[in-house]
Structure 1
Amino acid sequence: MHFGLVDIIGLLAAFGTTVSFLPQAIKTIQTKNTSGISLAMYSLFTAGTMLWLAYGIMSGSLPVTIANAITMIFASIILIYKIRYK
């Protein structure tokens, strides 16, 4: 597989935005404290991420697909904790 400059920029952007979810996901898993997290925001964000993932798959965009697949996992964990540990 050959990556051009646009793909490299996309992968770097995907890495940066995806990794930004790690601290919140880790903190939420460790503390189970979701009091500062908006249920409406995370519900909409997770739904939007699911749509971006579908777009990435359908358009064949590897950076969009990878970033949103991983982000969806993190966002879903936080959303599940928000619902479970009110």
Structure 2
Amino acid sequence: MVPLISLIGYAAAILTTLSFLPQAIKTVQEKNTEGISFWMYSLFTTGVFFWLIYGICVSDVPIIAANLVTLIFAVTILTLKIVYSKREKDELPKAG
């Protein structure tokens, strides 16, 4: 039988990871990242990466799984933010 604390860890991992799925899907479908802060997602992605490293160091499967999947979502959104921001900047009319 799985200990209660592990079940709590898995539940937290599943819920927090799934919370990013709608944003990732919306960003990919709409190709729009205007409402997303570059700096917030940069800091968040870095934090998730460190949580993943921590999970690996302490051999905690829920932390590893949640942060690996969340890192994939966060890197996807951050990459799209960079690509779409550059594209939007290039499409702005030039002054002068």
TM-score by length of 1: 0.96
Alignment partner, residue 20 of structure 2: 21
Partner of 1:85 in structure 2?
Answer: 84
Whole-angstrom CA distance in 2 between matches of 1:47 and 1:78: 13
- What percent identity do the matched residue pairs reach? 55
Deviation of 1:3 (Å): 2.5
Q: What SS is found at the alignment partner of 1:15?
A: helix
How far apart, CA to CA, are the structure 1 residues paired with 2:31 and 2:80? 7
Q: Give the Cα separation in 2 of the matches to 1:7 and 1:65.
A: 13
- Consecutive unaligned residues in structure 1, runs of 5 or more: none
Which residue in 1 is equivalent to 2:63?
A: 64
- Where structure 2 has 5 or more consecutive residues not aligned to the other structure, the ranges are 86-96
In structure 2, the partner of 1:6 is 5
Counterpart position of 2:47 = 48
RMSD between aligned alpha carbons?
A: 0.8
Superposition misfits of 4+ residues, deviation over 2 angstroms: none
Q: How many residues align?
A: 85
The 2-side partners of 1:63 and 1:4 are apart by 13
How far, CA to CA, are the matches of 2:29 and 2:3 in structure 1?
39
Partner Cα distance (1:29, 1:46) in 2: 17
User: How many Å apart are 1:32 and its aligned residue?
Assistant: 1.1
The separation in 2 between residues aligned to 1:63 and 1:39, in whole angstroms, is: 27
Give CA-to-partner distance per residue, 1:27-81, whole Å, 9 cap, x none: 0011110000000000000000000000001101111000000000000000000
